[in-house]
Amino acid sequence: QEQLVESGGGLVQPGGSLRLSCTVSKIIFDSNAMGWYRQAPGKQREWVASIDWGDFTDYATSVKGRFTISSDNDQNQVYLQMNSLRPEDTAVYYCNTLPVPRSWGQGTQVAVSS
């Protein structure tokens, strides 16, 4: 039984937008800050954005001003609104706990190409 399930990825043109969703088990959602991570081909997985209790958010410099993380506490969902997408945003995106991630899910593929 998966505890973290990502969805919403796809292929978009540069400058386009996507909204990623993560369905989180209640046990994990209620006990941890949540974040989005990504792994591009040939690169290590990196942290992208986070949201904690009280809805404090933080972002990697590479996505600041373009991405917005949010959560729905009643639905146990975490979202990542991605605007002004660039080819370098191409990666598999994962949601997980922060600061220490748990086991990784399947992720959702985001491809930005013209």
DSSP β-ladder status, 10-12 and 108-112: parallel
Determine the 3-state secondary structure of 48 from DSSP: strand
Residues 7-66 pLDDT 10s: 999 999 999 999 999 999 988 888 889 999 999 999 999 999 999 988 899 999 999 999
Among residues 38, 16, 30, 36, the alpha carbon closest in space to that of 78 is found at 36
pLDDT at 28: 83
Question: Which residues are within 8 A (CB) of 61 and not within 5 positions of it... i.e. 6 or more apart?
Answer: none
For tokens 């600041």, the residue is 64
